[in-house]
Amino acid sequence: MKELISVIIPVKDGGKYIDKAIEGIFAQDMNIEIIVVDDASSDNTVEIAESYGCKVVRHEVTKGPVAGKNSGLKVAGGKYILFHDHDDIMTEGAIKKLYDELSYDDKYSAVQAKVRDFYSDDLPEEERVKTLIKQEPYWGLFTGSTLIRKKTFDIIGYFNESLTAGEIIEWQSKMDSNGLKIKKIDFVSTMRRIHSSNYGKTNQNKEFKDYAAILRAKLKKQI
């Protein structure tokens, strides 16, 4: 049997889409555990996750998706880690492709594929006009695109929970500073759903502040 892969889904009020995300992951036909970290949802997110047999970690108060990643890491039993957004969908055979690329090449600590945007069926036409999506696939930022050796986090530590967003940039910086290599492979592993309440859209100002703080910290280290 192939080694266990822990797929971590941080989510708050994701009942509308999470079933499709979970189905897409379990359809990968790999040795997988899904860890849903519920960030004090007020909807039926937990009930849906439990109905699929996912391991559920519950935050009693909202802590944000960065803390959600850390909570998932703390209970993950897999040798490999993959973070997945609750509203996205993995492509057929994606995890096997990521696993095959990483498990047989010890010089890499992570492997990264591409993501393709798509409009959610429930996104009104007037919002589609205002919300332009990328027409070509692009390198993913965690959401179902990046498989990581769990031991990597023993080296670089967990995510900085003072960040609302931007933890991916900091993670990449830590990988670089520790000499850990990320292999990029040119295939689409995940379909990224664009809808009216994407976290990046609703928290854009906080993301910009985090990116600026990370850049300042990086520049200070270079001085």
Pairing between strand 181-194 and 89-90?
antiparallel
Task: Give domain status of residue 122, yes or no.
Answer: yes
Q: For residue range 149-180, what is the model confidence (pLDDT) as tens digits?
A: 999 999 999 999 988 777 888 898 999 999 99
Token pair belonging to 159: 């995510």
Task: Give domain status of residue 217, yes or no.
Answer: no
Q: In the predicted model, what is the mean pLDDT of residues 45-52? A: 98
Total count of domains within the chain: 1
pLDDT category at 221 given cuts 50, 70, 90 is low
Does the pLDDT at position 138 exceed 60? yes
Task: Give domain status of residue 45, yes or no.
Answer: yes
Task: Give domain status of residue 223, yes or no.
Answer: no
Does the pLDDT at position 16 exceed 60? yes
Q: Tell which residue, 16, 137, 15, 158, has the closest CA to residue 83.
A: 158
Task: Give domain status of residue 205, yes or no.
Answer: no
Q: For residue range 122-132, what is the model confidence (pLDDT) as tens digits?
A: 787 778 777 77
Task: Give domain status of residue 213, yes or no.
Answer: no
pLDDT category at 222 given cuts 50, 70, 90 is very low
CA-CA distance, 166 to 188, in Å (whole number)? Answer: 22
pLDDT of residue 62: 96
| DSSP string across 85-146 | -TT-EEPTTHHHHHHHHHHT-TTEEEEEEEEEEEE-TTS-HHHHHHS---SS-EE-SSTTTE
pLDDT of residue 71: 98
pLDDT of residue 50: 98
| DSSP string across 51-72 | HTT-EEEEESS---HHHHHHHH
Q: In the predicted model, what is the mean pLDDT of residues 205-223? A: 46
Residues 16, 45 contacting (CB under 8 angstroms): no
Give 165 or 17, the one with higher predicted confidence. Answer: 17
For residue 35, list its beta bridge partners: 8, 55
Give 197 or 51, the one with higher predicted confidence. Answer: 51
pLDDT of residue 201: 43
Backbone φ/ψ region at 185: left (φ over 0), alpha (ψ -120 to 50), beta: beta
Q: Tell which residue, 119, 88, 86, 84, has the closest CA to residue 14.
A: 86
Identify the DSSP state of 34.
Answer: E
For residue 55, list its beta bridge partners: 35
Q: For residue range 78-119, what is the model confidence (pLDDT) as tens digits?
A: 999 999 999 999 999 999 999 999 998 899 999 999 999 998
Q: Phi then psi for 159, rounded to 5 degrees?
A: -80, 150
What range defines the domain where residue 186 resides? Answer: 5-162+180-198
CATH code of 12's domain:
3.90.550.10
